[in-house]
């Protein structure tokens, strides 16, 4: 019995020693806690979403050393997490900014995971899981593809030999039994309309664009005349803004960021020029309408996507990228071939008067 007891104690001590040796390879937990980095990716022409992302930490199930899926590199037994041992502080807030250009990546790293050593009653390695809180369907931010991954964390707890208390000596993320990263935090990425050009996924196509082009035709059409277009949007989510550009000779020029309060935006377009709105999700509404339609002898027609009832532009909602419409102003004047017939009697009268005048003057001279 004594021999078995001594062997058991030796095994436990050896395990603790190995665990302690392994922990020296892991970074200490920062004083303000581990960082949860939230990243939102876009197509590069979409402003940041106006929303907040939340996270939660829950105790994991733990694994034995013979089950390598969650085993620490030192192969010690992993215990289920103790309630409140790790805690999330804060939330990742995003908001669009009219004063800044659009970006392909938006990042927030203000959320922390803090440790509470006081809840642990024995040394060991403890398993926790971190995940993003996915809103219910009606509360999801339109256009966002949420990150549904679950991150596994191992918390290393050691006993302080001086006073017998317990301290968290390190926290690492593991995946398939291997350490991930530097032990300073975890990251989650949400897609907001970014498409992989090599392997496009229809589920990623959540933000869209619309282009309206002006064309001027006819023998009296002025190619250099600007025609004004009134532009407005009605976001599905409060606070959203969208990128508005003008395209001339294939070059895009930023006009401004527009939102629900920007109702008086007007852009002038010459023949061949276009206006484009980026970042519209499925239930966002827009309107691009010519205000100079059917004036000065021009006849206005429109063709393409979401042509409005008056045939003067495009309005509605978008369900895919690269939507487009063309608004054409045509003005023609026929050659006035009837002018000879109209003025013929007067021309004959003038000619006859001229002949009579010549004959009268000749007769006068002969009498003299």
Structure tokens at 39: 């990243």
Q: In this structure, are residues 141 and 118 in contact, taking their beta carbons and an 8 Å threshold?
A: no
Mean predicted lDDT score pLDDT of the chain: 86
Cα distance between residue 124 and residue 72, in whole Å: 11
Question: What are the extents of the domains in the chain?
Answer: 2-191, 207-330
**Structure-derived torsion over alpha carbons of residues 294, 296, 297, 301, reported in degrees to the nearest 10:** -30
Express each pLDDT in 89-103 by its tens digit.
999 999 999 999 999
Cα angle 98-99-103, degrees, rounded to a multiple of 5: 75
HSE of 237 in the Cβ direction (CA atoms, 13 Å)? Answer: 21
Amino acid 8: pLDDT: 34
Express each pLDDT in 189-225 by its tens digit.
999 999 988 888 988 999 999 999 999 999 999 999 9
159: Cβ contacts below 8 Å, ≥ 6 apart = 122, 123, 165, 166, 167
Amino acid 22: pLDDT: 43
Q: What are the C-alpha distances in Å from 270 to residues 237, 287, 308, 346?
A: 33, 19, 20, 44
Amino acid 334: pLDDT: 83
Higher pLDDT, 176 or 152: 152
Amino acid 183: pLDDT: 83
The CATH architecture assigned to 2-191 reads Sandwich (2.60)
Express each pLDDT in 310-330 by its tens digit.
999 999 999 999 999 999 999
Higher pLDDT, 284 or 25: 284
Q: What are phi and psi of 267, to 5 degrees?
A: -130, 130
pTM reported for the whole predicted model: 0.80
Res. 367 pLDDT band, cuts 50 70 90: low
147: Cβ contacts below 8 Å, ≥ 6 apart = 132, 188, 189, 190
pLDDT at position 157 over 50: yes
Cα distance between residue 206 and residue 200, in whole Å: 12
Higher pLDDT, 164 or 11: 164
Amino acid 324: pLDDT: 98
Cα distance between residue 24 and residue 299, in whole Å: 79
pLDDT at position 342 over 80: no
Q: What are the C-alpha distances in Å from 65 to residues 125, 141, 276, 334?
A: 11, 42, 59, 92
Rounded to a whole number of angstroms, the CA Rg of the chain reads 38
CATH of 207-330, one of 1.10.3660.10, 3.20.20.70, 2.60.40.1140, 3.40.50.970: 2.60.40.1140
Cα distance between residue 220 and residue 364, in whole Å: 54
Q: In this structure, are residues 177 and 152 in contact, taking their beta carbons and an 8 Å threshold?
A: no
**Averaged pLDDT, 244-248:** 98
Amino acid 19: pLDDT: 40
Residue 212's closest CA among 313, 89, 294? Answer: 313
Higher pLDDT, 6 or 225: 225
Same fold, 2-191 and 207-330: yes
**Judging by DSSP bridges, how do beta strands 178-180 and 251-258 pair with one another?**
unpaired
Structure tokens at 67: 């089950």
Q: In this structure, are residues 170 and 29 in contact, taking their beta carbons and an 8 Å threshold?
A: yes
Q: For residues 204-217, b (16+ Cβ closer than 10 Å) or e, as one string? A: bbbbbbbbbbbbbb
pLDDT at position 11 over 50: no
pLDDT at position 359 over 70: no
Res. 366 pLDDT band, cuts 50 70 90: low
Amino acid 351: pLDDT: 61
Express each pLDDT in 167-176 by its tens digit.
999 999 988 7
């Amino acid at each position: 019995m004594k021999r078995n007891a001594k062997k058991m104690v030796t095994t436990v001590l050896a395990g603790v020693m190995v665990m302690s040796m392994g922990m020296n390879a892991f970074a200490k937990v920062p004083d303000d806690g581990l960082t949860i980095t939230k990243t939102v990716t876009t197509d590069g022409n979409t402003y940041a979403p106006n929303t907040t992302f939340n996270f939660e930490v829950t105790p994991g199930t733990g694994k034995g050393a013979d089950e390598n899926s969650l085993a620490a590199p030192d192969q010690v037994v992993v215990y289920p997490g103790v309630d409140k041992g790790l805690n999330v502080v804060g939330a990742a807030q995003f908001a669009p900014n009219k004063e800044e250009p659009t970006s392909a990546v938006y990042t927030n790293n203000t959320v922390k995971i803090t440790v509470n050593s006081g809840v642990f009653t024995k040394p060991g390695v403890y398993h926790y899981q971190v995940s993003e809180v996915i809103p219910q369907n009606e509360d999801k931010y339109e256009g966002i593809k949420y990150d549904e991954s679950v991150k596994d964390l191992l918390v290393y707890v050691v006993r302080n030999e001086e006073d017998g208390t317990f301290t968290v000596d390190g926290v690492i993320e593991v995946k398939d039994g291997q350490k991930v990263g530097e032990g300073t935090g975890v990251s989650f990425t949400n897609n907001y309309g970014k498409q992989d050009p090599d392997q496009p996924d229809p589920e990623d196509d959540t933000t869209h664009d619309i282009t309206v082009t002006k064309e001027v035709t006819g023998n009296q059409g002025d190619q250099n005349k600007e025609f004004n277009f009134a532009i407005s949007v009605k976001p599905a989510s409060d606070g959203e803004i969208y990128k508005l550009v003008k395209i001339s000779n294939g070059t895009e020029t930023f006009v401004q960021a527009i939102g629900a309060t920007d109702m008086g935006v007007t852009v002038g377009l010459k023949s061949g020029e276009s206006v484009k709105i980026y970042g519209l999700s499925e239930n966002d509404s827009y309107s691009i309408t010519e205000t100079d339609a059917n004036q000065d002898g021009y006849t206005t027609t429109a063709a393409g996507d979401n042509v409005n009832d008056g045939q003067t532009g495009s309005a509605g909602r978008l369900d895919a990228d690269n939507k487009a419409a063309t608004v054409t102003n045509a003005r023609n004047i026929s050659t006035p071939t009837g002018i000879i017939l109209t003025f013929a009697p007067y021309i004959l009268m003038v000619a006859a008067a001229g002949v009579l005048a010549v004959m009268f003057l000749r007769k006068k001279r002969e009498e003299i």
